């Protein structure tokens, strides 16, 4: 076996033994066929079909073939190319199209990398201007930012398109080549998983070596309600904990940070809640006597905020219920249905605790024991009075119609409807 790492497709071969430069002479690979061997790329992540023709040249040393770093060889003609992790020059090799073996002269000179790079193509000015015009029209008609041409991804797409144009001859149907937006969307997750699997061993090795660096990139949505963090792995995460999000934002943007004892206490109670919710059945006997969830109902009819009061404050988005008092009542009900006085421990205010902070304490209590209780707030609805608008003559007509219905045999139907 060789020292070729097979974790990813285009990894440069690793060499554990020094190989002299004259081993790069491809004439030796023909005349000394027992000393040299082409090793296939055995990576499971191979995507390019060029690897069916190419492999890694190796030198026999101490009874074992060792890959020669920085080169690949054609298994048909033994032509050797410089290799830096990209397959684009391998795709241009003639054996891929002809699929025949090409003989090589024994006196082939030493490999010169520049020889296999090919001559640089000079693009005519009018061709560049034509492409420029297409991009301008695309940006204007589809309202795309001009900076899209500077995006590395755009450059990679253009490179791949040029490579395909060199590989296939004739008129290429662009409509068949470009996939739909739905197909792109469906492939985001599978491709992301492939990259994560390839990245995982690298991150683990860096962490084991003590050289893993995580640089947080923080941003928020347009409404400013949700914070997100991007780690060095390129994966974005929503920060659900407001306290952690605040600390990270202050750290990332060098903002001064002011914390109150209430802030610290909320974090502590949330930690208690997480632990209790993850081990609800384990601690059930210590907190409650019932099985399953007990329904707790709090009447809040007297806590309704009138429309006039909401309008007077200039904002109809104000809740129709005074929730600080509502959750306080629910906290008292929880206290009455729990063995341990956890309610007092969690909801006990500090010297400068505000109404809003107190409501947060009560909400934390509800979250902590949510596996033992279901919470409901009830409002009794009803019609305070009914006003019937009509003249006295209208009621007289109703009475007359009733008598007529009685004579016509529809008396019971009329009586029941009234």
- pLDDT tens digits along 375-400: 999 887 777 678 878 777 776 777 67
Q: How far apart are CA 69 and CA 58, in angstroms?
A: 9
Predicted confidence band of residue 196 (pLDDT cuts 50, 70, 90): confident
Q: Of 51-55, 112-116, 228-232, where does the model show the most confidence?
A: 51-55
Model confidence over 283-312: pLDDT tens digits? 999 999 999 999 999 998 888 887 777 666
The per-residue pLDDT for 327 is 93
Start and end residues for every CATH 1.10.10 domain found in the chain: 125-178
How many Cα atoms occupy the beta-carbon half-sphere of 300 within 13 Å?
22
The per-residue pLDDT for 387 is 84
The 3-state secondary structure of 180-210, one letter per residue: CHHHHHHHHHHHHHHHHHHHHHHHHHHHHCC
Predicted confidence band of residue 217 (pLDDT cuts 50, 70, 90): low
Model confidence over 222-270: pLDDT tens digits? 555 566 655 444 445 556 677 887 887 787 778 899 999 999 999 999 9
Predicted confidence band of residue 59 (pLDDT cuts 50, 70, 90): confident
Q: What is the mean pLDDT of residues 48-53?
A: 81
> For 290, phi and psi rounded to 5 degrees?
-95, 165
| Tally of CB atoms within 10 A around 200 | 11
Please check whether residue 83 is in contact with residue 50, taking contact to mean a CB–CB distance below 8 angstroms: no
How many Å from the N-terminal Cα to the C-terminal Cα in the chain?
97
Please check whether residue 115 is in contact with residue 80, taking contact to mean a CB–CB distance below 8 angstroms: no
Q: What is the pTM of this model?
A: 0.40
Predicted confidence band of residue 173 (pLDDT cuts 50, 70, 90): confident
Answer CATH for 125-178 from 1.25.40, 1.10.3470, 1.10.10, 1.20.950:
1.10.10
Place of tokens 């990139």: 217
Whether pLDDT at 42 is above 60: yes
The per-residue pLDDT for 369 is 95
Pairing label, strands 54-61, 217-220: unpaired
User: For 321, which DSSP code?
Assistant: B
The per-residue pLDDT for 71 is 85
> Which of 153-162, 175-184, 315-324 shows the lowest mean pLDDT across its residues?
315-324
């Amino acid at each position: 076996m060789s020292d070729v790492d097979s974790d990813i497709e285009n990894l440069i071969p690793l060499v554990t033994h020094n190989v002299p430069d004259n081993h790069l002479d491809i004439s030796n690979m023909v005349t000394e066929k027992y000393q040299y061997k082409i090793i296939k790329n055995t990576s499971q992540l191979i995507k390019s079909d060029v690897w069916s023709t190419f492999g890694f040249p190796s030198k026999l040393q101490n009874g074992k073939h060792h890959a020669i770093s920085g080169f690949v060889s054609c298994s048909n003609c033994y032509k050797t190319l410089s290799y830096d992790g990209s397959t684009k020059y391998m795709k241009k090799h003639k054996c891929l199209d002809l699929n025949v073996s090409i003989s090589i002269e024994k006196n082939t000179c030493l490999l010169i990398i520049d020889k296999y790079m090919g001559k640089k193509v000079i693009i005519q000015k009018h061709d560049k201007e034509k492409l420029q015009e297409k991009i301008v029209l695309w940006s204007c008609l589809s309202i795309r930012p001009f900076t899209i041409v500077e995006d590395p991804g755009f450059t990679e797409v253009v490179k791949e398109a040029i490579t395909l144009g060199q590989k296939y001859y004739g008129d290429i149907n662009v409509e068949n080549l470009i996939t739909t937006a739905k197909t792109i969307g469906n492939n985001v997750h599978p491709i992301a998983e492939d990259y994560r699997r390839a990245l995982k061993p690298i991150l683990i090795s860096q962490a084991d070596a003590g050289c893993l660096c995580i640089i947080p990139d923080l941003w928020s949505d347009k409404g400013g309600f949700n914070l997100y963090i991007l780690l060095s792995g390129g994966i974005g995460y929503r920060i659900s904990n407001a306290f952690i999000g605040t600390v990270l934002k202050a750290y990332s943007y060098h903002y001064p940070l002011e914390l109150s004892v209430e802030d610290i206490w909320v974090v502590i109670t949330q930690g208690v809640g997480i632990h209790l919710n993850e081990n609800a059945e384990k601690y059930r006997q210590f907190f409650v006597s019932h099985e399953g969830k007990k329904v707790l109902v709090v009447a809040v009819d007297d806590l309704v905020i009138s429309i006039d009061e909401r309008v007077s404050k200039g904002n109809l988005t104000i809740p129709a219920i005074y929730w600080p008092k509502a959750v306080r009542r629910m906290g008292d009900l929880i206290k009455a249905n729990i063995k341990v006085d956890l309610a007092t421990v969690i909801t006990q205010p500090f010297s400068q605790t505000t109404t809003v902070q107190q409501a947060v304490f009560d909400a934390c209590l509800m979250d902590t024991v949510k596996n033992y209780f279901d919470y409901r707030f009830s409002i009794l609805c009803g019609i305070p009075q009914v006003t019937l608008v009509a003249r006295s003559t209208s009621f007289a007509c109703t009475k007359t119609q009733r008598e007529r219905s009685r004579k016509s045999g529809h008396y019971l139907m009329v009586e029941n409807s009234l």
